[in-house]
Amino acid sequence: MKKIFASLALALGLTGPASAGGPDALVTIVTSDQPQVQLMSMVLTHQAIAKGHPARILLCGAAADMALIEAPASATAPQPPKGATPQGLLQAAIEKGATVEVCAIYLPGKGADASALIDGVGVAQPPAMAAAMLAEDTIVWSF
């Protein structure tokens, strides 16, 4: 419950990272096929990165399409009000040091391999991702 309140306070800008050992890690999980939801998940993740939180992004299902070299228009079409795209902000998060991975079953389900992904995106290993999500100093956001 503490993590939920801390996540909410951080998202609303009510507080900064509280731990003495540095900011909590953030795992952002995106599964939505809606471009606005995908974009907002990246906007909020960027806000957390700007506050010093190390970020890890897990893309599953239709949301993982934003990590494709040949992404659908929904991931690359500019969204109001600033013309940003889900894929563009995903790439910017990678440039800022975020670890980005697609779910382990995503590529096999599409009949593809890692060569279909944009630079900087890997394939999540379930044990490592579960450990990251369960870590005491991790905040998990899901979109």
Per-residue pLDDT tens, the chain, 143 aa: give them: 445 444 444 444 444 444 457 889 999 999 999 999 999 999 999 999 999 999 999 999 999 999 999 999 999 999 999 999 999 999 999 999 999 999 999 999 999 999 999 999 999 999 999 999 999 999 999 99
pLDDT computed for residue 122 by the predictor: 98
Assign 53 to helix, strand or coil: coil
User: Which range marks the domain in which residue 38 is found?
Assistant: 24-142
- Look at residue 105 and tell me if it is in a domain: yes
pLDDT computed for residue 21 by the predictor: 72
- Look at residue 16 and tell me if it is in a domain: no
- Look at residue 11 and tell me if it is in a domain: no
Report the number of distinct structural domains present in the chain. 1
pLDDT computed for residue 22 by the predictor: 82
Distance CA 67, CA 58 (A): 10
- Look at residue 6 and tell me if it is in a domain: no
- Look at residue 108 and tell me if it is in a domain: yes
pLDDT computed for residue 9 by the predictor: 47
**pTM (2 d.p.):** 0.85
Residue where the block lists tokens 């800008």: 13
Assign 115 to helix, strand or coil: helix
- Look at residue 44 and tell me if it is in a domain: yes
Helix 2-11 vs helix 35-50: angle between axes, to the nearest 10 degrees? 90
pLDDT computed for residue 14 by the predictor: 41
**CATH number of domain containing 105:** 3.40.1260.10
- Look at residue 127 and tell me if it is in a domain: yes
- Look at residue 117 and tell me if it is in a domain: yes
Are 117 and 69 within 8 A, CB to CB?
yes
Taking the mean position of all CA atoms in its chain, how far away is CA 81? 21
